Structure 1
Amino acid sequence: MLSSETKDEIFDLIGQTVTPRLSDQLRFVLEIDKLKTIIRQTPLLDISRRENDAEHSWHLAMMAMMLAEYAAPDVRLERVLRMVLIHDIVEIDAGDTFLYDATAEAGQEEREQKAADRLFGLLPKEQAVEFRSLWDEFEAHQSPDARFARTMDRMQPFLHNVFTGGHSWKHHGVTADQVQKRMAVIADGSTLLHGLVTRLIEESVARGFLLPSSSD
């Protein structure tokens, strides 16, 4: 692996060869390679290993293209794709937070805001503003585009749990009511997909993939 000094020397060479804009864009492109090293709790369907953030983001983009017909009519797919591709970039600095780990959520927003400042700040000014705006919109999940993007983000690991027999659910002792609570936002992006998720939660409990609700 190259030393930081060698990398800086190469970036200096790039800066002398191309415009500052292109130099900044290339620095960002190389920095987000680190997303491939951020490991999530979600297993691959063959349970050979856990997926990384880059794989997760790619999968969401593919899902959004396939399932866009189940979104609200005013959802703009191109914006959804951009959101799902950038939504986890902040985890390069902030790390991945498991959806069902309440303790890990403490300080998550602060960590991610700080990460967004640094990472999107690597870009030329107008692209930095654009990317940060899309990320902020996704996090707020108030617009139709953001709601559908969030639907994809919640549904992908859910499907992986169903089709691995509740692999990470079992490992972390997750209960049906916890999953129902976390999957509720899917209804904001697609009532049809939320109905499917609700049915699959019931089936997962029946098959022993998921613990019954703590109140049962």
Structure 2
Amino acid sequence: MTTEKLRKQIEFIKEIDKIKYIQRRTKLFNSDRRENDAEHSWHLAIMALVLSEHANCDVDILKVIKMLLIHDIVEIDAGDTFLYDQNKNHENTVEEMKSAKRIFGILPDKQAEEFFQIWTEFEEGNSNEAKFAKSMDRLEPLLQNVSNNGGTWKEFGVNYETVYNKKKVIKKGSTELWKYAKKLILDSVEKGFLLK
């Protein structure tokens, strides 16, 4: 007989399968295919493992990975907001909060609270772990757009200043990765991938 706790956990696992259908605007490296949220979250988690030595300070890497694996689950209900959207704020929204409460609320109470707290910590971006996790979240699409000769920057007419301002949050998690990212942004202007 299945316990109530296990039933809730399995129900959550089934629910989050929907993240595989959330399409992002950014395309895979050297590809015309758009990335989905599940691919994005997995990629960020691996990036954090590989790049953690470049964090500005010691971080609890397991906590960072948890943040990265769950940060976009809310998009199952709220949808993906393009980082460069001119009409809708990319930051935490009422829709995302409502989605977080619903989806994490499927879990047993203790896990629901933990996931909600981790998601909130990521959104607020104040802890060392959240800063590093956010640097991964901003670095990956930058690398993708560079690999695609401007990708969504060109597609949506995004300029240098906008990219720079959205990406500078990388510095809060890793000054080393920010130096690298700034160089990529400037190189993209020189190559014509990004409008000055």
TM range (shorter): over 0.9
1:107 offset after TM fit, Å? 9.1
1:167 offset after TM fit, Å? 1.1
The match for 2:33 among 34, 40, 49 is 49
Which amino acid counterpart does residue 141 of structure 2 have in structure 1? P
Q: Report the TM-score, using the length of structure 2 for normalisation.
A: 0.97
The match for 1:131 among 106, 115, 127 is 115
1:115 aligns with 2:121: no
Q: Tell me the SS of whatever aligns to 2:93.
A: helix
Match of 2:61 in 1: 77
Q: Report the TM-score, using the length of structure 1 for normalisation.
A: 0.88
| Structure 2: runs of 5+ lacking an equivalent | none
Match of 2:128 in 1: 144
Runs of 4+ in 1 over 6 A off after TM superposition: none
1:33-48 alignment runs, 5 A limit: 33-48=17-32
Match of 1:18 in 2: 2
1:44 offset after TM fit, Å? 1.1
Higher normalized contact order (CA 8 Å, seq sep 6+, divided by chain length)? 2
The match for 2:171 among 159, 176, 187 is 187
| Structure 1: runs of 5+ lacking an equivalent | 1-16
Give the whole-Å Cα distance in 2 for the aligned partners of 1:156 and 1:102: 21
Which amino acid counterpart does residue 159 of structure 1 have in structure 2? L
Q: Tell me the SS of whatever aligns to 2:88.
A: helix
In the comparison of the two structures, how many residue pairs are matched?
Answer: 196
Give the whole-Å Cα distance in 2 for the aligned partners of 1:102 and 1:111: 18
1:149 offset after TM fit, Å? 0.2
Give the whole-Å Cα distance in 2 for the aligned partners of 1:86 and 1:21: 20
Match of 1:6 in 2: none
Q: Tell me the SS of whatever aligns to 1:51.
A: strand
1:46 offset after TM fit, Å? 3.1
1:184 offset after TM fit, Å? 1.1
Match of 1:207 in 2: 191
Higher gyration radius (CA): 1
1:106 offset after TM fit, Å? 7.8
Contact 1:94 1:108 in 2 (8 A): no
> CA offsets per residue over residues 152-190 of structure 1, 9 Å max, x none?
000000100011101110000000000000011100000
Give the whole-Å Cα distance in 2 for the aligned partners of 1:141 and 1:170: 29
Q: Tell me the SS of whatever aligns to 1:103.
A: coil
Q: Tell me the SS of whatever aligns to 1:105.
A: coil
Q: Tell me the SS of whatever aligns to 2:10.
A: helix
The match for 1:96 among 63, 80, 99 is 80
Deviates more, 1:132-141 or 1:192-201: 192-201
Give the whole-Å Cα distance in 2 for the aligned partners of 1:108 and 1:154: 15
Give the whole-Å Cα distance in 1 for the aligned partners of 2:156 and 2:138: 17
Give the whole-Å Cα distance in 2 for the aligned partners of 1:206 and 1:147: 29
What is the percent sequence identity of the aligned residues? 51
> CA offsets per residue over residues 34-86 of structure 1, 9 Å max, x none?
00000000101232310100000000011001000001332111100000000
